[in-house]
Structure 1
Amino acid sequence: MTDRNTKLADNQINVDEFMAKYDRESDYRRLSGSSGMAVAVLATVFSLFQLYTAFFGVLDAQIQRAIHLSFGLALVYILYPTRKSWSRSRVHWFDLLLAILSVAAPLYIVICYKDLVMRAGITTTTDMLVGGLGVLFVMEAARRVVGWPIVTVAILFLGYAFAGPYLPGAFAHQGVTINGLVGHLFYTTEGIFGIPLGVSSTFIFLFILFGAYLEKTGLGKFFIDLANAIAGWASGGPAKVAVLSSGLMGTVSGSSVGNVAGTGSLTIPMMKKLGYRPEFAGAVEAAASTGGQLMPPIMGAAAFLMAEFVGTPYVNIVKAAALPALLYFTGIWIGVHLEAKRAGLKGIPREELPKVKYILAERGHLALPLIGIVYLLVSGRSPMQAALWAIALSIVASMLRKSTRISLLDVLKGLEEGARSALGVVIACATAGIIIGVVTKTGLGLSLGSTLIDLAGGQLLPTLFFTMITSIILGMGVPTTANYVITSTIAAPILVQMGVPVLAAHMFVFYFGIIADVTPPVALAAFAGAGIAGSDPMKTGVQASKLAIAAFLIPYIFVLSPSLLLIDTTLPKVLMMMTTSLIGMTAVAAAIAGYLITPTKWFDRILFFIGGLMLIDPNLITDLVGIGLLVVGVTLQWIRNRQAKTSLMNN
């Protein structure tokens, strides 16, 4: 038993080191002693403040958001050092000084709130000094916890604000003064304290806290064991376990790299042992883990922002995302199955796998909070209320069995870890607010919109393509949350202007911001998978992109036919679309994998690829042409397979 515990502890250490390498948010100080206790208390108080306002009522918008940001800035400057070379075991005096100063900026709004309201936009020299420092503190915090890419984007937008009078053509504007820009960014709800930070300061934080408690109860291990029991015996079993467990984990985790580390540390070695190439093993986990952000009911922070931007209840986002998420994971499952068949890979013997009945009997109660949160959302409760009650339910559910029961110390640790997990989202939302503030102040959104439409010749498909490229490029360096904020502010309105339903337009940019995690040259989830598999990162990224081909197709499907998002549709129409979409994705997957019934020839691949793409467009003619091409390809495969069997029997 001691050896087993030692192995588990060593595995956790390896996961922590791995996360620190590939996920900037995980590269924080591990403090002990009095400093560690002080940070734990600060983080716990942060969580308690969020729980208090969720239960008794949110404060005035700017006060709520300012206090929320104060906690976030203080913890970031304490936990994330100025320089990478500085100690991770103790706090540098300079970081402590910055933590104190950074807190003063947003608290200035709290202390002087009445005076600021009474002056109604008239700013003093002190206001400008504090506001200017506040903007700088937010950007420096973003550099530490998120990275340079988002800071670079923010700097470019700030530069555009001042350079307006000197720019040519549609991008020119009258320019802004320093006082005007600082006032707009720091003392209104259209900048740093805008909608993104508002959503972060209410229900995003609570859902992150909910996820922290689900981790404490051991739900992740339950998902992996359940996936093993269900799919481990099938052809290429461990790879299918990775797909299924990552999909389940995605219901509670919004981090692609976190999902890779959590499930990949178990599934990738299993895949390699079975015979999968290291690149393929890492790619399967990366593609599946990235899809976790698309999986309801908890889809990552950007989905909550979408509900606010679109102006619809979060439960509608969940409903709309359900079928696309199902298609996404089905697409990866098909790719894994075809690779297993092509390579002749078997599953794990059933006697070596856990039994479904035993797992459900022992730990099935851990899933009650997920069932509860879905029920609460569907019954009309707000996301904040649903998350609040789900947190309580997760603690209560763990108490139902001694083997899963969490202690009072675990409850307190959950508060601390939830606050720490939220820091990246808090700072990303604040930084995204700077970008939004510049867009609203200068009218950049309209300028970019008209330019993009002109570049696409006013045609929808080219506009979708350019929007896809923009979202992927931003997603390579900017977190999903900030990526969605930027693209939803600039690109989504363009699609709406071209007749795309609002929800479909926002879901389109949301999808491609996420898929950037497996799209080379900067594919964090794929690189993380490669790190565990010991494979080449670029080859793993390319393979992950192939497996995630569904994610490149699905957004076009629901833009061309919003029925997939359950917008103004009927059940027969949805069933028909799901059927043609699944057939199309299977065909494209066969073209990429080089296998369907038997290994494909180049001619088969062309038929499958073109036929599959034809089924994307919800049009009777394209569907008939696509099915015709697939019938020809499948017939050729069947004849070739029958000839091979006949030849084998004759020999």
Structure 2
Amino acid sequence: MSEKDKNQRRESDQFEASAVEMEAAGHGGLSQEEIDALVASSDTGARTPPGAVGKLILITALCWSLFQLWIASPIPFMVGFGVLNDTETRSIHLAFAIFLAFMAYPAERTPFQLVLGVSIPILMTILFMIGSKTGVPVWWMPIAGLAVVAAILLGSPKIRVPPWEWALALVSAAAALYIYFFYDSISTRIGAPIMQDYVVAVVGILVLLEATRRSLGPALMIVATVFLAYTFLGPYMPGIIAHKGNSLAEVVNHQWITTEGVFGIALGVSTSFVFLFVLFGALLDKAGAGNYFIQVAFSLMGHMRGGPAKAAVVSSAMTGLISGSSIANVVTTGTFTIPLMKKVGFSSEKAGAVEVASSVNGQIMPPVMGAAAFLMVEYVGIPYFDVVKHAFVPATISYIALVYIVHLEAMKANMQGLPRAYVPGPLIRRLIGFLFGIVAIGILAFLLKFTMGWIRPTFGASAIFVVFALLTVAYVALLFVASREEPLELDDPNEPVTELPMPGPTVRSGLHFLLPIVVLVWALMVDRLSPGLSAFWATAFMIFILLTQRPLMVMLRGVDRTGNSTTISALRSGLDDLVDGLISGARNMIGIGIATATAGIIVGAVSQTGVGSALADVVEVLSGGNLMLILLLTAVLSLILGMGLPTTANYIVVSALLAPVIVTLGQQNGLIVPLIAVHLFVFYFGIMADVTPPVGLASFAAAAVSGGDPIRTGVIAFFYSLRTAALPFLFIFNTDLLLINVDWIHGIFVFVTATIAMLLFAAGTQGWFIVRNRIWESALLLLIAFAIFRPGFFMNYIYPPYEDLPATQFEQALADSPPGSPLRLRVAGLNDVGDPIEFTALISVPQGADGAERLAALGVETVQTGDDVVIDNVAFDSPGQAAGLDWDQKILLVRAPAPAPSKYWIYIPVALLLAGLVWLQRRRADPNEGQPRGKEKGLSHA
């Protein structure tokens, strides 16, 4: 036996012994039934009564999925039947969601929930009566409010649906469908609601808030109620946030009858895009892809130090590609990964924290991003492809850094990985194989693009059938490859693991699951189809796979993955999988549909009251105009507002409230921030609320699985997620991280340097690099990481990037600056409400023979009086107007680009500092503490 084989055998024996000793630390938390109940209560509804009522819930969920597939497909336009406009589809979408919310989610009976559930309808009824200033009869409002209160007090059994909940479900669905059935008559009386509109809107808002409490908990319900109260009670608010107050007629018209509130953009995105992506993920998981992702991650990474934790990060990233829920991601992958992490030495809290940090990050991973990507398309007004491009680098860097954090934790505890079932070949052979795989993927991508470029012009309208035929051939070929391997089984995490699955067979056993993802990404990124249509085609192909993979596997292997040995039984099982997937997808959407509708109340209140500008004033007063304090306050407010809210809802809330704050105050303080960077900033801190104690829902879910303390789990997960918290500040000041105005060569350079910087940041915050850090070493690592992230910060002190010129030299500065270079103007003027402000306008120097010609190209005319330069006119839709310039503004200062060396020269002293730190820590490395030289140490071997 060779020395390598002896080491391999010794490692296996050692692990078996430790596995037996730590068997008691396996699951440690809830049973599988309790975990399933946890997912159901948080994501799909915990009530499926026996008998006809339970079947009705399932049939309703199935009909919802079929409806969404119908409106997303091109079939209604082809047959000329069932074509609905956006408002009508939103109405039906909310009717399904709110009906299922009352049927599937029993209300909690805790004292706090009862008090809250009773007090909110009473409070809202009083507010509606106060707002009835236009002679609207109010006698019926207390009846409506007391009816909701009575339904809450009568109770909500978990095994049946009582009559009063049937009434709530049917009334709420009717209120949601009101716009659909009375669309034509409502369109003729916008702004002048009739008695019927009042009744439907008041009842609809009351039952929507109660549905929110049931399906999402109290947080979003409370926030929406506060904003509704603010809408009515504006005159009684403190001066800085006071407004005139709105009547019931205005609120009814804004919140329910038009598409400004409940039926606004957020619900529209849920209807058009989000449902199909959630359905796609549910079908993919039902086909077996979720288990495949976990097994592949473990086969590739389980042998490393802390291997199960690294595999948890990778599998959560892959699950996050298609998942819209942090909690579902935690429980789906954590059920398997958390016990294995505990077996190799992670504590219950650390195992749960790793799963939380990686699962929550699934929400920042393109292409789905917890549905926020599609909301950004609407709110920011840029193509979906650009959203994904901007979000890709920070998300990828964050995951790489989390893998490195896990590696550092394993180094601290001298953990070992799981034993492998094979002895890897020589390093050169493996490297050649890896490079060959990259080349093969590149060639395949090139051939695919070439083929598609040839098929479309050749076959015209029939190209879709040719593409489907080619996909089918690829699918059958990959399924044939999978049939040569043993079917993947999800191992019991409580059993001792003696060896890892072999990577090759594991990867080959499910390659066909990647085809629908390829279809989705291709349609989104290459064909540039709409997100809804892209998701439809990917889902349609996923349905085809669900119906055919079992029968084909029986033909190829003789049996499918669950033991069916005949084509008929396999086809029946595939049909059952499809129906289950359609039902699961719809039930997963209940909370998201309710969340987007209720978040619409908040968005509507913001637009109706102008609280956004008032909030900007509050933040400016608290920060004293300091830009970093502004960002910190915004981050804290995002965390607070995001607590207890699902990803989609908290992004809607924080973007509506806080994104304009950063843009406005940043511009006033000389920082020109692209709108997409601002939205990503508030989104990152919104999802951090899923981690942050004391309300971090994902932390509580992970603790339920691990058996650890949820608060400690949340605290550790928060420190693991500091890299995610640091990234938003970095890309606000260095938009290169978002690949804004960056070519592909510069983009690769930014990705490499930013990844190194984030790994050094992780080493600094975790207190371990090659060996345990001294305090000054951690501080130095953080300084080096900052310098790599923002090389211009230090260079700007040495060589100022701008030269300050008096306003009278504006025209000369235009003439002297090369076309396309940035020119900044410090401008004094009035804001939208007539208050004096100062801000910085960013101008790209246009083409022109001289300064006067370039000024005309900007669409700007100026008048000079002594040393004062005033803008006399700005042409409509001109570059000057786009920069924020307007007539009667005064130019205070011109900041022209100054010649300076490249900011990247700072990397030379930074590299020397890092080399010195590496040398010092290598000298201090102690082999007796599990730090053998040259093996898996620190940054270079992560």
TM-score of the alignment, normalized to the shorter chain, above 0.5: yes
CA contact (8 A) 2:321 2:367 kept: yes
CA contact (8 A) 1:557 1:618 kept: no
CA pair 626-424 structure 1, distance change in 2 beyond 3 A: farther
**2:85 maps to 1:60:** yes
Unpaired stretches in structure 2, ≥5 consecutive residues: 1-26, 78-82, 110-154, 422-498, 554-559, 562-569, 667-671, 796-905, 934-942
Secondary structure class of the residue paired with 2:504: helix
Alignment partner, residue 172 of structure 1: 242
CA contact (8 A) 1:254 1:299 kept: yes
**2:678 maps to 1:394:** no
CA contact (8 A) 1:561 1:618 kept: no
CA contact (8 A) 1:610 1:626 kept: no
Structural mapping, 1:30-69, within 5 Å: 30-55=48-73, 56=76, 59-69=84-94
AA of the residue aligned to 1:492: A
Deviation at 1:451, TM superposition (A): 2.5
Rounded to whole Å, the distance in 2 between the matches of 1:506 and 1:423 is 25
Deviations 1:574-617 (A, max 9, x none): 33433332233222222332221112222322222333334333
Tell which deviates more after alignment, 106-115 or 509-518.
Answer: 106-115
Rounded to whole Å, the distance in 2 between the matches of 1:234 and 1:644 is 20
CA pair 441-633 structure 1, distance change in 2 beyond 3 A: same
Partner of residue 308 from structure 2, selected from 238, 253, 277? 238
Rounded to whole Å, the distance in 1 between the matches of 2:370 and 2:739 is 21
- Deviating beyond 4 angstroms after TM superposition, the runs of 4 or more aligned structure 1 residues are 622-629, 642-645
AA of the residue aligned to 1:356: P
CA contact (8 A) 1:246 1:259 kept: yes
**2:109 maps to 1:109:** no
Deviation at 1:303, TM superposition (A): 2.1
Tell which deviates more after alignment, 53-62 or 356-365.
Answer: 53-62
Q: Which has the higher helix share?
A: 1
Secondary structure class of the residue paired with 1:346: coil
CA contact (8 A) 1:577 1:618 kept: no
Q: CA RMSD in A?
A: 2.3
Alignment partner, residue 24 of structure 1: 42
Deviations 1:197-231 (A, max 9, x none): 11111111111111110111011100001001110
Per the normalisation by structure 2, the TM-score is 0.65
Secondary structure class of the residue paired with 1:584: helix
**2:411 maps to 1:341:** yes
**2:603 maps to 1:436:** yes
Rounded to whole Å, the distance in 2 between the matches of 1:181 and 1:119 is 15
Alignment partner, residue 528 of structure 2: 380
Partner of residue 229 from structure 1, selected from 296, 299, 318? 299
Alignment partner, residue 683 of structure 2: 510
Partner of residue 365 from structure 2, selected from 292, 295, 302? 295
Alignment partner, residue 3 of structure 1: none
Tell which deviates more after alignment, 587-596 or 179-188.
Answer: 587-596
CA contact (8 A) 1:557 1:616 kept: yes
Deviations 1:115-163 (A, max 9, x none): 1112232111121111111111111111110111111111111111122
Per the normalisation by structure 1, the TM-score is 0.93
AA of the residue aligned to 1:388: F
Partner of residue 600 from structure 1, selected from 773, 779, 782? 773
CA contact (8 A) 1:29 1:89 kept: yes
CA contact (8 A) 1:191 1:433 kept: yes
CA contact (8 A) 1:280 1:540 kept: yes
Alignment partner, residue 555 of structure 1: 728
Secondary structure class of the residue paired with 1:517: coil
AA of the residue aligned to 2:543: I
CA contact (8 A) 2:690 2:697 kept: yes
- Greater C-alpha radius of gyration: 2
Partner of residue 514 from structure 2, selected from 367, 371, 374? 367
CA contact (8 A) 1:452 1:463 kept: yes
**2:217 maps to 1:192:** no
Secondary structure class of the residue paired with 1:300: helix
Deviations 1:474-497 (A, max 9, x none): 121222212111111121122223
**2:334 maps to 1:264:** yes
Rounded to whole Å, the distance in 1 between the matches of 2:222 and 2:912 is 50
Structural mapping, 1:472-511, within 5 Å: 472-497=639-664, 498=666, 499-511=672-684
CA pair 618-467 structure 1, distance change in 2 beyond 3 A: farther
AA of the residue aligned to 2:731: F
**2:96 maps to 1:71:** yes
Tell which deviates more after alignment, 557-566 or 600-609.
Answer: 600-609
Secondary structure class of the residue paired with 2:529: coil
Alignment partner, residue 849 of structure 2: none
Deviation at 1:627, TM superposition (A): 5.0
CA contact (8 A) 1:82 1:95 kept: no
Tell which deviates more after alignment, 534-543 or 281-290.
Answer: 534-543
Deviation at 1:528, TM superposition (A): 1.7
CA pair 11-560 structure 1, distance change in 2 beyond 3 A: same
**2:161 maps to 1:13:** no
CA pair 423-606 structure 1, distance change in 2 beyond 3 A: same
**2:590 maps to 1:423:** yes
CA contact (8 A) 2:787 2:794 kept: no
Deviations 1:145-196 (A, max 9, x none): 0111111111111111122112233311111111211221001111100000
Secondary structure class of the residue paired with 1:29: coil
CA contact (8 A) 2:191 2:250 kept: no
Rounded to whole Å, the distance in 1 between the matches of 2:312 and 2:190 is 55
Tell which deviates more after alignment, 445-454 or 327-336.
Answer: 445-454
Rounded to whole Å, the distance in 1 between the matches of 2:99 and 2:333 is 32
**2:388 maps to 1:318:** yes
CA contact (8 A) 1:301 1:425 kept: no
Deviation at 1:11, TM superposition (A): 6.8
Rounded to whole Å, the distance in 1 between the matches of 2:358 and 2:232 is 43
Rounded to whole Å, the distance in 2 between the matches of 1:147 and 1:643 is 52
Q: Which has the higher strand share?
A: 2
Alignment partner, residue 568 of structure 1: 741
Alignment partner, residue 358 of structure 1: 505
Secondary structure class of the residue paired with 2:510: helix
Rounded to whole Å, the distance in 2 between the matches of 1:341 and 1:248 is 25
Rounded to whole Å, the distance in 2 between the matches of 1:481 and 1:340 is 34
Rounded to whole Å, the distance in 1 between the matches of 2:521 and 2:38 is 33
AA of the residue aligned to 1:245: S
Alignment partner, residue 614 of structure 2: 447
Alignment partner, residue 496 of structure 2: none
Structural mapping, 1:466-477, within 5 Å: 466-477=633-644
CA contact (8 A) 2:377 2:383 kept: yes
CA pair 262-178 structure 1, distance change in 2 beyond 3 A: same
CA contact (8 A) 2:393 2:738 kept: yes
Partner of residue 355 from structure 2, selected from 285, 289, 292? 285
Deviation at 1:393, TM superposition (A): 1.2
Rounded to whole Å, the distance in 1 between the matches of 2:301 and 2:685 is 29
Deviation at 1:38, TM superposition (A): 1.1
Secondary structure class of the residue paired with 1:552: helix
Deviations 1:322-358 (A, max 9, x none): 1111111011111000111121111111112212221
Structural mapping, 1:69-218, within 5 Å: 69-84=94-109, 86-218=156-288
**2:633 maps to 1:613:** no
1 or 2 for the larger relative contact order (CA 8 Å, sep ≥6)?
A: 1
Alignment partner, residue 460 of structure 1: 627
Structural mapping, 1:402-421, within 5 Å: 402=553, 403=560, 407-421=574-588
Secondary structure class of the residue paired with 2:509: helix
Alignment partner, residue 309 of structure 1: 379
CA contact (8 A) 1:560 1:618 kept: no
Unpaired stretches in structure 1, ≥5 consecutive residues: 1-6
